[in-house]
Amino acid sequence: MNRIGISIKPNDARACALLCELHRWLVERDCTVFVDQKLETCIGCATGCDRLPVAEMPDKVELMIVLGGDGTLLHAARDFIGSETPILGINLGRLGFLTDTPVGHMFDVVEQILAGNLKTTRHFSLHAEVWRGSEKLMSSRAMNDVVLERRGGMIGFEMCVNERFVFRMRGDGLILATPAGSTAYALSAGGPIVHPAVDAISVVPVCPHTLSNRPVVIPADEQIELHLVESSSQGAALNLDGIEMLRLEQNDRIVVRKNGYISLVYLPDRHHYYEVLRTKLKWAGQVETR
């Protein structure tokens, strides 16, 4: 690998300094470096690098490095859906489930990856469409989750899977999460942690106005449709990976289905999914010596 793309958390002095340091380090190893075109304030020290929109990088780079937290990685990863280009996340945030490489190990990890010592975990994404009658208002993708959420008072909606009615609910909303997204908003709302190897979507109600609505995990290949049947005067909204995409009105429909994959890179001797869970979630207990 010698064509490397880099994107960082915007307006972050620490990330900017690390970008310049990483760029010089890569150039010394005869790599061609492409830096996110939006980071104009960070590339003065990265003399000689090529500026390129992240959307064009999947066809140009062999490795994408993201410096920041999970939100930064999610933003960059949207353009890599369906690409085989691996993404390495360097954690400058807090938990960092997706960006699980500590910044202190950045150069050691990148050096091993450049030498070919890497594996990837493939995460599927979700594709969401919004329909108002026969008009398609929006079509977009998410790596973590698709969220129907209230903007004012409680909302009411129906959910169907493969055109079969599942339930009708009143509450604050609903989260449809991939396994990668199961440790994000869905986990905070009481959803299950789903291993990346499990091909499934978590359906997690947000503050349902009944004790009977509970999270459920369904096969990822099934199509989900949400029908907004009740909303307040403020309406509702569709949120993809933490970004509000569209204001919704009563009777709007959201259709969600499985989409292309994203490849996250890790080192075989540094990454263990259950160890990541224990460390990030601070699970108590340890192995007993017998």
Tokens 């449709």 identify what position?
225
- Residue 9 in contact with residue 18, Cβ under 8 Å? no
Tokens 């620490």 identify what position?
14
- Residue 15 in contact with residue 46, Cβ under 8 Å? no
Secondary structure letter of residue 20 according to DSSP: H
- Give burial (CB, 10 Å; 0-12/13-18/19+) of 214: exposed
| Distance of alpha carbon 174 from alpha carbon 177, whole angstroms | 10
- Residue 88 in contact with residue 58, Cβ under 8 Å? no
Tell me the two tokens of residue 74.
Answer: 């999610």
Count of beta carbons in the 10 Å neighbourhood of residue 42 = 23
Active site residue 199: no
Using DSSP, state whether 148 is helix, strand or coil: strand
- Residue 257 in contact with residue 224, Cβ under 8 Å? yes
- Residue 198 in contact with residue 181, Cβ under 8 Å? no
Residues 6+ apart with CB under 8 A from 147: 173, 174, 175, 176, 185, 206, 238, 239, 240
- Residue 43 in contact with residue 49, Cβ under 8 Å? yes
- Which of the following is catalytic: 12, 36, 59, 70? 70
The residues carrying an active-site annotation are: 70
